[in-house]
Amino acid sequence: MAESKSKVLIIGGTGYIGTYLVRASIKLGHPTFILVRSPTPSDPAKANLIKSFQDSGVTVLKGDVDDRESLVAALRQVDVVISSVNGEAVASQVKIVEAAKETGTIKRFIPSEFGNEVDRLEIDFKVLEGVFQTKSSVRREIKKSGIPYTFVISGGFAGYFVSNLANDNVSSPPRDKVTIWGDGTTKAILNTEEDIATYTIKSIDDPRVANKFLHIRPKENTLSHGEVVALWEKKIDHNLEKTVVSKEELRKIIEETPFPANILHAIRYSIFVKGDQTNFQLDDNDVEATELYPDVHYTTVSTYLDQFV
Ligand SMILES: NC(=O)c1ccc[n+]([C@@H]2O[C@H](COP(=O)([O-])OP(=O)(O)OC[C@H]3O[C@@H](n4cnc5c(N)ncnc54)[C@H](OP(=O)(O)O)[C@@H]3O)[C@@H](O)[C@H]2O)c1
């Protein structure tokens, strides 16, 4: 008999990456729950999103990470918790750990990571301390709790770093000129949101990924900024005018740009200049998604760019 699929609660399911996680969870056949602060939001786009989830069979629970009672009640209904919260709620995830300890039934907790491996990089800019150090402290609390976990190290989202060639104020790859961060040769890892969500959901019932870091590192998607731009130039069959922003110039931009606009620059520095996504080797605590799940036909950066030609 086929094993039953875990029931999954996604906290942050109405957010950017959360929406992909909910869709992947449904697609892979998991009974799917979301915890939302407002089940009937005034924002019509969010209301429509929640309605579309409900139409697909998602159970919508009202609650808040900061409301213990709602959290415990939600956790009692599921086996696995995935969090994709943002901002201040990243710190509040310790309350999810506390609630999971209270219920004692959570088989896996996947906290809101979906980015760089924050314990294997040096934080260069104060602006990144908040979120990186908080993610790290949440990890420590999860490990202490004994609740099985997976930390998803996803690389950069394609919608943030590929659809615009990591440039400002464009929603599709530019056709005339482009800014290159650093010398353009540092390797980054860039994945589509759909693939990140698929690998995350595939991992939740997989014992090989319990208490591990799940890295999503397709070889074809391990590319420098210069290589991404070159792929695009080949597709549109002409070269872009390039403005190179040196490492030193980017540092100055980060220091002079007010918060929160400086966050994105600091992340660009981390991934395209310093190489924080690729400058460490995987070890015994790490597993790699494309090796674990060769059946997933992930989207390469090249294929992703095709939609914009
Ligand atoms: N690798 C990359 O390129 C990349 C890019 C962006 C983000 N990320 C990471 O992805 C993760 C999620 O970010 P995102 O941009 O997807 O976030 P987002 O779009 O801002 O969505 C956050 C979600 O969390 C929910 N939420 C916030 N506070 C909550 C609370 N107290 N209780 C319950 N729900 C709460 C929000 O609900 P409401 O609908 O009620 O607001 C929303 O659904 C973060 O860890 C972030 O660092 C990575």
289 in a structural domain: yes
- Does a cis peptide bond (omega within 30 degrees of 0) precede residue 260? yes
Number of domains in the chain: 1
15 in a structural domain: yes
pTM of the model: 0.98
Q: Is the CB of 154 under 6 A from ligand 1?
A: yes
Q: Is the CB of 130 under 6 A from ligand 1?
A: no
Strand locations in the chain, DSSP E? 8-11, 32-36, 59-62, 80-83, 108-110, 150-153, 156-157, 177-181, 187-191, 212-215, 222-224, 241-245, 286-288
Rounded Cα distance, 149 and 285, in Å: 12
Q: How many residues does the chain have?
A: 309
Cβ partners under 8 Å of residue 88, min gap 6: none
What is the number of the ligand 1 atom nearest to the C-alpha of 64? Answer: 32
CA of 18 to the centre of ligand 1 (A): 7
237 in a structural domain: no
CA of 139 to the centre of ligand 1 (A): 17
Q: Is the CB of 11 under 6 A from ligand 1?
A: yes
State the residue range of the domain holding 105: 8-155+193-217+281-294
Rounded Cα distance, 233 and 175, in Å: 8
Pairing of strands 187-191, 222-224: antiparallel
- Residues annotated as catalytic are 135
Q: Is the CB of 62 under 6 A from ligand 1?
A: no
Residue type, 294: P
Residue type, 64: D
Q: What is the largest CA-CA distance in the chain?
A: 61
Q: Is the CB of 64 under 6 A from ligand 1?
A: yes
What is the number of the ligand 1 atom nearest to the C-alpha of 161? Answer: 3
Reported as half-sphere exposure (CB side, CA atoms, 13 A), residue 60 has a value of 18
CA of 113 to the centre of ligand 1 (A): 10
120 in a structural domain: yes
CB-CB contact of 10 with 33 (8 Å) = yes
Give residue 2's pLDDT: 54
Tens of pLDDT, residues 76-86: 999 999 999 99
268 in a structural domain: no
CA of 110 to the centre of ligand 1 (A): 14
What is the number of the ligand 1 atom nearest to the C-alpha of 84? Answer: 12
Q: Is the CB of 65 under 6 A from ligand 1?
A: yes
For the chain of 309 residues, list the mean pLDDT of each consecutive stretch of 10.
84 98 98 96 97 98 98 98 96 98 98 98 95 97 98 98 97 98 98 99 98 98 98 98 98 96 97 98 98 98 98
Rounded to 5 degrees, φ, ψ at 32 are -120, 135
Whose C-alpha lies nearest to ligand 1, atom 14? 16
The residue written with tokens 């919608």 in the block is 159
265 in a structural domain: no
Give residue 4's pLDDT: 84
Q: What is the CATH number of the domain that holds 109?
A: 3.40.50.720
Name which of 8, 33, 27 is nearest 194 in CA terms: 27
Q: Is the CB of 191 under 6 A from ligand 1?
A: no
104 in a structural domain: yes
185 in a structural domain: no
Rounded Cα distance, 16 and 193, in Å: 9
CA of 49 to the centre of ligand 1 (A): 15
